[in-house]
Structure 1
Amino acid sequence: MKRAFPAIALIAGLSLTGCTGNDSQDDGAEEDSTAQPASDEAPEATVLDEDQLTEVIESTEVDGQSYTTFDMSAASGSDAVKVLQTSEFEPAECKDLSMAALNVAQQSKGNTVGGISSDKTLSVALTSFSDVADAGSQLKSSSTVTEVCNDVTVRSQGIEMKMSYETFDAEVPSADETVGVRAEISAGGQTVLNADTVTGRIGNNIVTAANVADTDDETTVPQTAEAFVEAVKTAG
């Protein structure tokens, strides 16, 4: 597990790409084909503060798993970031993407709270923006990793790891739009982690769910995203 740490740190960061302040994607860019179409009439934005988002995370149970919040701002000084800072990436720009994702609390334009499941296999992140446009922009950035970093090599501490990313059709019926990203991480010719990330937009709010350990069930992450989407709708 220690040898796999740089890769796991990377996917943990990239799982939150949809919640960062990444403005690198042109606002006029074509909508990602995996996103469900948004409604023509945007609802009035109701911004949820951090206390409300914390309540959503701590009061939502999915498939027997409860969730606790964690300090996302602490990620900037974590061992994960220190490992990434000294790692070599190909393509090089993927290093910037992962660092920006791990600094989500500093980069986000909205209120952001993260949570982890009681069995430590799933993570969630909730972000509430001041308007629907900002939320929509962040949703589009969720698939940036598949465009820029669909095939990544990371070298760190004498270890070489391979990562590949692709979008997939993620069904979250309660969301206005949804993007799914699937990652495979391998080292020494063996798979270290298969991870799915599902990001859904509900008006001006974003829900991101990801598995940070193999769950052996492709429905787990979409079901988790759906549960939190419903909880956010109720809170708003």
Structure 2
Amino acid sequence: MLGTCPPRRPAVIPLLIVEDDTALAELIATYLGRQGYAVTVIGRGDEALAAVQRLRPQLVVLDVMLPGLDGLQVCRQLRATQPSLPILMLTALDDSHDQVLGLEIGADDYVSKPCEPRVLLARIRTLLRRCQLVEAPADDRLTIGQLQLLPGERQVWWRDQLVELSSTEFNLLAILMRHAGEVLSRDQLIQQLRGIEFNGVDRSVDVAISKLRRRFEEHPGEARRIKTVWGKGYLLSRAEWD
């Protein structure tokens, strides 16, 4: 009689944590390890780039205050060499300057310290879901004028040129393209991007919109392609991408 095949175990997802607070790093690593992640911890910012190249993590959790090289500098270096690598930053509680600056230089999300491991886990899961290559079939491409987005390859082409986007920029553009011609509120966009409700002060969507405009608008101040509808949200125009 033929035997049954054992169930396939889910692939272990490698994560890198860059955090110099040993107690916090161990707490997070132990908790995430119990959830099935393969976690590596390093305590210095100047070791992060080499660690990413060696370990090939699917997501990096990055503290702002680090010895050797601060987290904002690390984020800038990683984004230059790994444009699609999800980066989640740990910032001081209510430090909006670090939060906005981190988003401006390429972080995909942030969590304020001190953070509960289960909150961090929820943000990690949400970010990974948004960035998985299997998020959409390879042929489920979106085309508006000369703008084309290929979900399977996670590529964006504009006027026959490949455009490098961060994970957040790519995901936000995909949402806007799927709802082209519709006004989407900040709350709707944050729910889809980060899995949380808009708290009235979160700047992540505004920062990402600003970065997309710098990439696609000849004159970003005019915002013809990605429009602001005052008091309501944002709209991607169908008529301005030729």
Tell me, yes or no, whether TM beats 0.5: no
Query: Which of the pair has the greater relative contact order for Cα pairs under 8 Å at 6+ separation?
Result: 1
Structure with bigger gyration radius:
2
Indicate the TM-score class for this superposition, using the shorter chain for normalisation.
Answer: under 0.3
What TM-score, normalized by structure 2, do the two folds share?
A: 0.27
Q: More strand per residue: 1 or 2?
A: 1
What TM-score, normalized by structure 1, do the two folds share?
A: 0.27
Q: More helix per residue: 1 or 2?
A: 2
